[in-house]
Structure 1
Amino acid sequence: MGSHSTAAEHNGKSFNSGSSVEVKSESSPIQQLQPPATNSSVYDVPDGGTLAWLQVLASFFVLMNTWGIINTFGAYQTFYEVDLLRSHSPSAISWIGSIQGCLLSIVGALTGPISDAGHTRALLLAGSFLVVLGTVMTSLVEQYYQAFLAQGVCFGIGAGMLFVPSVAVVSTYFEKHRSFAVGVLASGSSLGGVIYPAIFHQLQPKIGFGWATRVIALAALVTLTITNLATRQRVLPTMRRKLFDVSALHEAPFVLCTMGIFFGFVGLYIPFFFITPYALAKTGANSTLAFYFVPILNAASVFGRIAPNALADRIGTLNTLVPCAFFCAVLAFAWIAVESTGGLIVFAIFYGFFSGSFVALPPSTITALSKDLRKVGTRLGMSFAVGGLGVLIGSPVGGALLNLKTGEFVHAQVFCAVAMMISCVSLAMARVAKSGFAIMIKS
């Protein structure tokens, strides 16, 4: 009786799951890195060790080949506008990248119960296949609808099958350092957003669009193979998560935070999609330098995903997320006045840093706002789905507001800035609803 009560106490503290758990037993060389789980080891989160950090590496590659490739779309946007899909508007082209992010979030929300049922490995295999297939088929496209189906729909569904299950596995290996671990794995998306555009830019003039894209597909295949070999689902909740939690709608902090995430994603990716044509039109940068503004954004984002997450473990997630959203809004307003190459580089570095923080912090924030840890998975799925709708509409609206022929970007820039400011206000209201106006409270 005593051992059961102790387990229950540990369960409420350590896991976002039900009242009891069962261990998924698999025999593999990687699993032999730690002894078989006992009742004690199941409830005592490792918070480090070789196997735990292998899960971070596996999820790092997932982020590299999901959000990382989505962050690369700015390079494809520019290429499509001047070459393959030049007969289509920037807004129409940006729908391809937007549907990627939207499907990643919405499909990710739907995969939670499947992962809870012990099918994480099947999700990873299927998702990896679709991501690689979508990228390979992108290399063959000649028309808009083909790009939309291959690069947008096929890739987006595959990315959604990978993202949430992978991050969920990591969360069961860490407790005290969970925000830091999530920040490390989230930096994979930034690294992908640096490496893949550079690959595309360097290889496309030499070997053509098709083969440059196939090289990216090969890199995704190799790194996702490592993910599939290394991932080990440590525990399974007995109580499967639901797709929707009605009680969450009665909790002001959760509702306001989700609103903040939605408006943030409406504006967040506009610079990633349109900074290259802006550099060409406004700063006089040559085509090579203009292209590298997307990697600069993503390189700065690496640090933005790690450092603020480490800080959030100390001062609280909302206390970190609100200033990051505020600085994104201020920088978006400042972007309007930037007309020099040096100024745009400074903007890219700072906006990349704070936008990276905005992307990395919401999972830990939603977890911190959930009173019942058994419902965290459901609430994460709900927030991701709403955020995905923001990704879906944000960049196409931004594309519709700009005019490449006249070089008018100001309406898209204002739209980005206002969306980020509304996000900041919503997140600040969530913080007040949770902890009041006291500044020094960890929240």
Structure 2
Amino acid sequence: MLVGALTGPIYDAGYFRALLTVGSFGVVFGHMMLSLATTYWQVILAQGICVGLGAGCLFVPSVAILSTYFSTRIATAMGLAAAGSSLGKLCLYSPPSCPLTSHTGGVIYPIVFYRLEPRIGFPWATRVIGFIALGTLIIANSVMRVRVLPAARRAVLDLKAFTELPYLFFVLGGFLAFMGLYAPFFYIESYAITYNITSESLGFYTLAIINSASVFGRVLPNLVADRTGPMNIIIPCCVISGIIALCLIPVRSEAALIVECVLYGFFSGALVSLPPTVFVHLSPNRGLIGTRMGQGFSIISIGLLLGTPICGWILNGSGFTEVWVFAGVLILAGGSLMFVSRFFKAGFKLVQRV
């Protein structure tokens, strides 16, 4: 997301194919280099930088291009596109015995790695992930086409967008919400195992449960958003996600934890799939959609980048209760700023499509 400030204008300038090619190479090459990593700095270089930059080159063009094909059902289209990233994200999971550990991911990739690593080892399990990414990206490169070419070169940034209060407050709301949004994704497994809520094997699948529910959360709310407006859906989903995060505090049973995972995965899914639609809605000039979306996601990604390490620091100094409070309050604060954004866009007309 952070490189969106660059990839957005590059997309608007007509270099969609270049972004798609460079991004695809970065993702596949990064995974292959990760399979050779033996030290932490090599993991950061391969997974964090190479795969991260590659995915960043793919993200904004992949969602911005949909606005050139859809006008009446754009939220549904973007929801379906976002659902795929929940099924298999460009991240890995490795069991606690492995020194190269990243406790995040979607549904398919982590489970594939979790099953293969004990049998064929870390290097080849990682290469299998890389080959899966290669196969899916070959399909994407083969079928994706730009429908509307830009009429002229665009500025790298659209600073005028930040003078528009609906856009400004939505970006600020996204910054706060995403700072807390991924805390359950990163720490729900440790929470389940630390308090003996689940076994270690089931604890791993709590993340898969969240991401499985997120698939539906990225599609169904978007279907409704096409009728009611994206802001009318993302705001209540944001508030509900914050409340669910706070409700993790008293959870001590397996059944309650699974329910929490399903609910949080569903409602937080809308926070991932709907922002691109909101950015399109807040961009009257369609020629600047990529730029506005890219710079908006760049700011939001800073919150995402800061939030998880802060949660880790809080966890080491206090405990899980404080982590859930931190996450829940930030998500609720983000939802409040999104409501302010909606107010500047449509006032207090709650039934208006926004």
Same fold by TM-score, threshold 0.5 exceeded? Answer: yes
1:186 matched to 2:82? The reply is yes
Rounded Cα–Cα distance in structure 1 between residues aligned with 2:314 and 2:200: 23
SS in 2 for 1:402: helix
State the match for 1:80 in structure 2. Answer: none
Return the offset for 1:312.
0.7
State the match for 1:21 in structure 2. Answer: none
Rounded Cα–Cα distance in structure 1 between residues aligned with 2:327 and 2:13: 40
Return the offset for 1:128.
0.8
Return the offset for 1:258.
0.5
1:227 matched to 2:123? The reply is no
Correspondent of 2:38 among 122, 125, 142: 142
In structure 2, relative to structure 1, the CA distance for the partners of 1:366 and 1:119 (3 Å cut) is closer
Rounded Cα–Cα distance in structure 1 between residues aligned with 2:335 and 2:63: 25
2:328 alignment partner AA: A
SS in 2 for 1:335: coil
Contact persistence 1:249–1:255 (CA under 8 A) = yes
Contact persistence 2:14–2:149 (CA under 8 A) = yes
In structure 2, relative to structure 1, the CA distance for the partners of 1:369 and 1:116 (3 Å cut) is closer
1:203 matched to 2:116? The reply is yes
- Alignment RMSD: 1.5
Rounded Cα–Cα distance in structure 1 between residues aligned with 2:298 and 2:206: 29
State the match for 1:176 in structure 2. Answer: 72
Rounded Cα–Cα distance in structure 1 between residues aligned with 2:336 and 2:12: 34
Rounded Cα–Cα distance in structure 2 between residues aligned with 1:127 and 1:183: 21
Q: How does 1:23-422 map to 2 (within 5 A)?
A: 105-192=1-88, 193-403=106-316, 408-422=319-333
Contact persistence 2:8–2:292 (CA under 8 A) = no
1:187 alignment partner AA: A
Contact persistence 2:60–2:290 (CA under 8 A) = no
**C-alpha offsets along residues 68-119 of structure 1, whole Å, 9 cap, x if unaligned?**
xxxxxxxxxxxxxxxxxxxxxxxxxxxxxxxxxxxxx122331223223332
SS in 2 for 1:239: coil
Rounded Cα–Cα distance in structure 1 between residues aligned with 2:250 and 2:180: 18
Return the offset for 1:253.
0.9
Q: Larger radius of gyration, structure 1 or 2? A: 1
SS in 1 for 2:107: helix
Contact persistence 2:73–2:226 (CA under 8 A) = yes
The TM-score, its normalising length taken from structure 1, stands at 0.74
Return the offset for 1:435.
0.9
**C-alpha offsets along residues 118-172 of structure 1, whole Å, 9 cap, x if unaligned?**
3222221111111011112222222221111111011111011111112222221
Rounded Cα–Cα distance in structure 2 between residues aligned with 1:214 and 1:127: 18
The TM-score, its normalising length taken from structure 2, stands at 0.92
Contact persistence 1:108–1:162 (CA under 8 A) = no
**C-alpha offsets along residues 209-263 of structure 1, whole Å, 9 cap, x if unaligned?**
2221111111001111111111111121113332222222221111110011111
2:164 alignment partner AA: E
Rounded Cα–Cα distance in structure 2 between residues aligned with 1:221 and 1:337: 43
Rounded Cα–Cα distance in structure 2 between residues aligned with 1:108 and 1:361: 17
1:160 alignment partner AA: G
Q: Structure 2 regions of 5+ residues with no counterpart?
A: 89-105
Rounded Cα–Cα distance in structure 1 between residues aligned with 2:196 and 2:331: 24
Contact persistence 1:243–1:382 (CA under 8 A) = no
Rounded Cα–Cα distance in structure 1 between residues aligned with 2:295 and 2:15: 20
In structure 2, relative to structure 1, the CA distance for the partners of 1:428 and 1:283 (3 Å cut) is farther
**C-alpha offsets along residues 30-78 of structure 1, whole Å, 9 cap, x if unaligned?**
xxxxxxxxxxxxxxxxxxxxxxxxxxxxxxxxxxxxxxxxxxxxxxxxx
Number of positions where the alignment pairs a residue of Structure 1 with one of Structure 2? 337
1:352 alignment partner AA: G
SS in 1 for 2:234: helix
Rounded Cα–Cα distance in structure 1 between residues aligned with 2:160 and 2:11: 23
1:413 alignment partner AA: W
Rounded Cα–Cα distance in structure 1 between residues aligned with 2:30 and 2:59: 16
Rounded Cα–Cα distance in structure 2 between residues aligned with 1:248 and 1:295: 37
SS in 1 for 2:218: helix
SS in 2 for 1:188: helix
Return the offset for 1:376.
2.5
Return the offset for 1:366.
1.6
Rounded Cα–Cα distance in structure 1 between residues aligned with 2:185 and 2:248: 13
